[in-house]
Amino acid sequence: MPITFDKEKKIFKLDTPNSTYMIGILDKEHFITHLYYGKYIPDRDLSYIFAPISDAMPSKREGHRAAFMDNIPLEYPTFGIGDFRDHCLEIEDANGHHACSLSYESHRIYHGKPKIPSLPATFAEEKDCTTLELSCKDHILNLNIVLRYSVYEDLDVISKSVIVANQAVTPIYLKRILSGSLEFFGWDYDIVTLHGSWAKECQFYRVPVTANKVITESIRGETSAQSSPMMAILSKDATEDYGEVYGMNLVYSGNFYGSVEGYHTLGTRAVMGIHPSNFSWKLNSGDSFYSPELIYVYSAEGLGQMTRTFHDLYRKHLIRSPYKDKERPILVNNWEATYFDFDEKKLLELAREAKKCGIEMLVLDDGWFGERTIDDRGLGDWIVNEKKIKGGLGKLSSDINALGMKFGLWIEPEMVNPNSNLFRTHPDWAIQIPGRPCTLSRTQLVLDWSRKEVRDGVYSQIKNVLDHANVEYIKWDMNRHLTELGSFGLPADQQQELSHRYVLGVYEIMNRLISDFPNLLYENCSSGGARFDPGVLYYSPQIWASDDSDAIERIRIQAGTSLCYPLSTMGAHVSAVPNHQTGRITPMETRAIVALFGSFGYELDITKLSDQEKAMIQEHTARYHKYHPIVRDGDLYRISDVFHPADDACWSVVSKDKKEALLAYVQIHSRPGSQIFSKKIRLKGLDPNALYEIVEHIYDQEHAHIPYAAEGEEMEEKLVLSGAALMNVGIWMKHSFADYTAQLIYLRKI
């Protein structure tokens, strides 16, 4: 049993294959304390570590309890009882007071993992997971708090969530309910978080734990491009492949808060959950509140192993789409090809050319509905604009199908333009504060999806579209943040529930969409990757990673995104040059190699390409079919520092059985050494005892510098090397006399 309870010592031990997590019930007050989280240990009692802490207590008298609380690692810290560090739970009672304290009551250990009502969460069969429910009580408030931990059998993963039930006769208000807290002895840790902006998502930051808080957060109503709902706490010596790493990732798509605090008695506390800013939840007598799930991943082998564990967890236990283990059709999206300027003839022309190149689906992006000829109008009116698309979407989809192509469609259902029939009919459906001007962002407002009638009103329109055309893919977009938070559906004392109710509304509609159209391939998007989180992955197997598809920028964006999310979840397209976001000109081969390590597609006007470029696309689409299974199901190894690539970047995927590997190398700048031009790369993750053959090596032949070869002479040879040699000695990359060139190497065990 991966979860055991020592009745006498009152200690819970949670074991994954390589990690141990220990919780103790302390003192006659039954405080729930955190004893340990780290590498697996066989011992069942670690309460001795509290000895110096107890000795440090100035007094054991009840009145001095506060000094004690501020000193001890707590499992679920609460506000108002003498623990002044960052806390997880804060309530306001009927008298306006804010104190709350947890004491252990009972527990339950069982196989499997329950669902969290209305929220996405990882799932597991009984054989894969064991769950501990620790029931605690605040006796004064008559509040029941359940701390729920699920331990995965074959992964170093523990998931944590919390349920608060009000058993009193009067309502209480939850002012803060985070999903979990981790405690560490000492400050010898670093913190990794991901931050960015539009077209620059998931940039990697590493800072030391210090005598204050390091915070990652979003109060934008969605997870955001500015911060990702993840944190990792690393031992100081941790690298990509060595050292201890504790990953935290919140399965939630709204406002979130994560902090890591070095506190005065030299411990470190990390907490994460729904952002408490502008949050309050009225809990009536008999009601329960469920927190989102927080995932903990432990790795003793650096960030790389943390990544591979997250990927396995999400591929096996989070993503539900029928496409998760299948090849996704290669799509071409018309956004950067046409923006709003298209008609059905242009779309068919695009589809026809795309088909010849091996592309399998045309996705019609923004601009097909209402009066949407530009981005200041039409959102909310989900009726095809027949001035642009004669015959409507039913005809367009069947014409595209007749070419042998699938048809996909863009929607932005959470939004409304003031210039739309929907807004003119229902101005109260937008989120707003009466009397206060609404901030317009991209000339649009956010619909109040905390209200059922608003959700139903929009969803019925979308369903009608999907019922009358053969749409096999949906791109669900979301292009602004939430401001002037006010709902006509909520009383004054519940207005601060809006942001969370909004997220629950989004989940409800996403769920309806996949239930009504179970075979749909569904991709999420929010101005690129502003809602890239595990919550969304529960509904859609892929998310558009960024509006920046410049191959060089994409290396960092995809590397940061890959910290927690599988490669198959990252929408990655080949777009035109000069790139629309950076102006950079990169070879098509480089764009295709970088996009191959995601969910592959195109975003350009194929009709404007030369015959040579179209021939290259034919090669690239065929290559996708050959290599996508390794990318989708394999293990990712970051070989160079792809988070901050300077002159080059290198990464690989290795199939689970270690029989195949695919390596990408991008030479960003051509920088010779004194004599040696080429760069030697050491592979990772192979079977050291197996022999591997380099079956394919794709590189830019035109600019390749082949050292010491006489003119015309080929230096090519088929290399066969042991996994040990490949990993310890390495192989030479070709040096290229040009910037931005890329190489792809496919190795197979012989």
C-beta of residue 340 within 8 angstroms of C-beta of residue 375 = yes
Q: How far is the CB of 71 from ligand DGJ (least distance, A)?
A: 48
Closest residue to ligand DGJ, based on beta-carbon distance? 366
Residue 142: which of 71, 202, 196, 94 has the closest Cα?
Answer: 94
Q: How far is the CB of 463 from ligand DGJ (least distance, A)?
A: 21
Q: How far is the CB of 546 from ligand DGJ (least distance, A)?
A: 8
Distance CA 454, CA 456 (A): 5
C-beta of residue 636 within 8 angstroms of C-beta of residue 308 = yes
Distance of CA 225 to the CA centre of its chain: 11
Residue with tokens 């901050």: 644
Q: How far is the CB of 196 from ligand DGJ (least distance, A)?
A: 14
611 catalytic residue (yes or no): no
Q: How far is the CB of 613 from ligand DGJ (least distance, A)?
A: 22
C-beta of residue 716 within 8 angstroms of C-beta of residue 701 = no
Element counts in the chain: helices (H) and strands (E): 14, 40
C-beta of residue 209 within 8 angstroms of C-beta of residue 186 = no
| DSSP 8-state symbol, 170 | S
Distance CA 538, CA 513 (A): 13
Which residues are 203's β-sheet partners?
A: 195
Which residues lie closer than 8 Å to 682 by C-beta, 6 or more apart?
639, 726, 727, 728, 729, 730
Positions in the binding site for ligand DGJ (CB under 6 A): 335, 365-366, 410, 477, 479, 525, 527-528, 544, 547
**Alpha helical stretches, state H, 551-607:** 551-562, 588-596
Residue 244 or 366 with smaller CB distance to ligand DGJ: 366
Distance CA 428, CA 645 (A): 49
Distance of CA 237 to the CA centre of its chain: 26
Distance CA 151, CA 13 (A): 11
Distance of CA 250 to the CA centre of its chain: 9
Residue 535, SS3 per DSSP: helix
Q: How far is the CB of 523 from ligand DGJ (least distance, A)?
A: 10
* Identity of the amino acid at 38: G
Residue 365 or 497 with smaller CB distance to ligand DGJ: 365
477 catalytic residue (yes or no): yes
Residue 227 or 527 with smaller CB distance to ligand DGJ: 527
Distance CA 570, CA 543 (A): 5
Q: How far is the CB of 461 from ligand DGJ (least distance, A)?
A: 18
Residue with tokens 């988070």: 643
| Marked catalytic residue, from 477, 533, 548, 550 | 477
Q: How far is the CB of 528 from ligand DGJ (least distance, A)?
A: 5
Residue 218 or 527 with smaller CB distance to ligand DGJ: 527
Residue 91, SS3 per DSSP: strand
Residue 454: which of 506, 531, 384, 497 has the closest Cα?
Answer: 506
Both tokens of residue 569? 């979840």
Q: β-pairing, 267-274 with 361-364?
A: unpaired
Residue 190 or 366 with smaller CB distance to ligand DGJ: 366
Distance CA 674, CA 127 (A): 58
Residue 429 or 476 with smaller CB distance to ligand DGJ: 476
C-beta of residue 88 within 8 angstroms of C-beta of residue 271 = yes
C-beta of residue 282 within 8 angstroms of C-beta of residue 494 = yes
| Marked catalytic residue, from 15, 83, 547, 633 | 547
Residue 536 or 654 with smaller CB distance to ligand DGJ: 536
Residue 122 or 527 with smaller CB distance to ligand DGJ: 527
Residue 410 or 423 with smaller CB distance to ligand DGJ: 410
Q: How far is the CB of 475 from ligand DGJ (least distance, A)?
A: 7
CB atoms within 10 A of CB 636: 21
Q: How far is the CB of 419 from ligand DGJ (least distance, A)?
A: 15
Distance CA 436, CA 441 (A): 15
C-beta of residue 184 within 8 angstroms of C-beta of residue 233 = yes
Residue 187 or 339 with smaller CB distance to ligand DGJ: 339
Q: How far is CA 518 from CA 124, 340, 408, 511, in A?
A: 21, 30, 15, 10
C-beta of residue 306 within 8 angstroms of C-beta of residue 200 = no
Q: What's the Rg (C-alpha) of the chain?
A: 27
Distance CA 532, CA 52 (A): 43
Residue 305 or 333 with smaller CB distance to ligand DGJ: 333
Q: How far is the CB of 525 from ligand DGJ (least distance, A)?
A: 5
Distance CA 718, CA 100 (A): 69
Q: How far is the CB of 530 from ligand DGJ (least distance, A)?
A: 8
Residue with tokens 């007050």: 29
Q: β-pairing, 473-476 with 406-411?
A: parallel
Residue 520 or 525 with smaller CB distance to ligand DGJ: 525
Cis peptide before 578 (omega within 30 of 0): yes
Q: Angle at the Cα of 158 (from 153 to 164), degrees rounded to 5? A: 130
Half-sphere exposure of 50 (CA within 13 A, CB side): 22
C-beta of residue 450 within 8 angstroms of C-beta of residue 502 = yes
Residue 204 or 410 with smaller CB distance to ligand DGJ: 410
* Identity of the amino acid at 603: E
Q: How far is the CB of 575 from ligand DGJ (least distance, A)?
A: 10
- The catalytic residue positions are 477, 547
